[in-house]
Amino acid sequence: MTVTKAQVSRSDITRLSVDAIVNAANNSLLGGGGVDGAIHRAAGPELLEACRVLGGCATGDAKLTPGFNLPAGYVIHTVGPVWQGGAADESRLLAACYQRCLQLADQYQLQSLAFPAISTGVYGFPKAAACRIAVDTVTAWQGRPLQVTFCCFDTRTYELYRAALAS
């Protein structure tokens, strides 16, 4: 996808009216804390049932479900790497998350997609490095046009994404 528009928003990803939001999930896909828990709560119990039949998800991969009670039509669940100091292939795995989500968006002919800051919460990936990987991976993607929103929960992350998009 050639990203026709990449923007940053400081907002609640569960309230965005886009074709799909990305869930920073754990390997089970059965809910958790942070953005994962918020998406499961907002989507309703049907999301958990849809995730149960997916059989989990490997780190760096992604799977798609309906959005159920969310304004977004779909949820793309991706599992980012847990930060282990940088020597455990974390950067490649994080980039793979973004690439796989973009592939699914292309496969399902989506036009708009919102990403949280994958792996930067309890998984501990340094925010500045994760932001750079996200922006570089998304802006380098080739294919159909897509509107991408980097949705940030806090001001620091929002500023990091703004700076990365401006450079």
Distances from the Cα of 145 to the Cα of 9, 31, 141, angstroms: 19, 31, 10
Backbone φ and ψ for 12, nearest 5 degrees, come out as -90, 115
Q: In one letter, which amino acid is 84?
A: Q
Does residue 19 carry a catalytic annotation? no
Planar angle of CA 5, 10, 16, nearest 5 degrees = 65
pLDDT of res. 3 = 64
The C-alpha atoms of residue 89 and residue 57 are separated, in whole angstroms, by: 18
Q: Of 33, 106, 8, 103, give the one whose Cα is nearest residue 61.
A: 103
Point out the catalytic residue in the list 36, 61, 89, 154: 36
Specify the pTM.
0.96
pLDDT values of the chain reduced to their tens digit, one per residue, 167 residues: 566 689 999 999 999 999 999 999 999 999 999 999 999 999 999 999 999 999 999 999 999 999 999 999 999 999 999 999 999 999 999 999 999 999 999 999 999 999 999 999 999 999 999 999 999 999 999 877 899 999 999 999 999 999 999 98
Contact 67, 21 (CB under 8 A): yes
- In degrees rounded to 5, what are phi and psi of residue 164? -65, -40
Q: So what's the pLDDT on residue 145? A: 86
Q: Which domains does the chain have, with CATH numbers?
A: 3-166 (3.40.220.10)
Question: How high is the pLDDT of residue 2?
Answer: 64
**What is the rounded distance in angstroms from the CA atom of residue 59 to the CA atom of residue 94?**
8
Q: Which amino acid is at 152?
A: C
In this predicted structure, what is the pLDDT of residue 63?
Answer: 98
* Interatomic CA distance for residues 74 and 65, integer angstroms: 6
Tokens standing for 126? 């340094």
Burial of 145 (0-12, 13-18, 19+ CB in 10 A): exposed
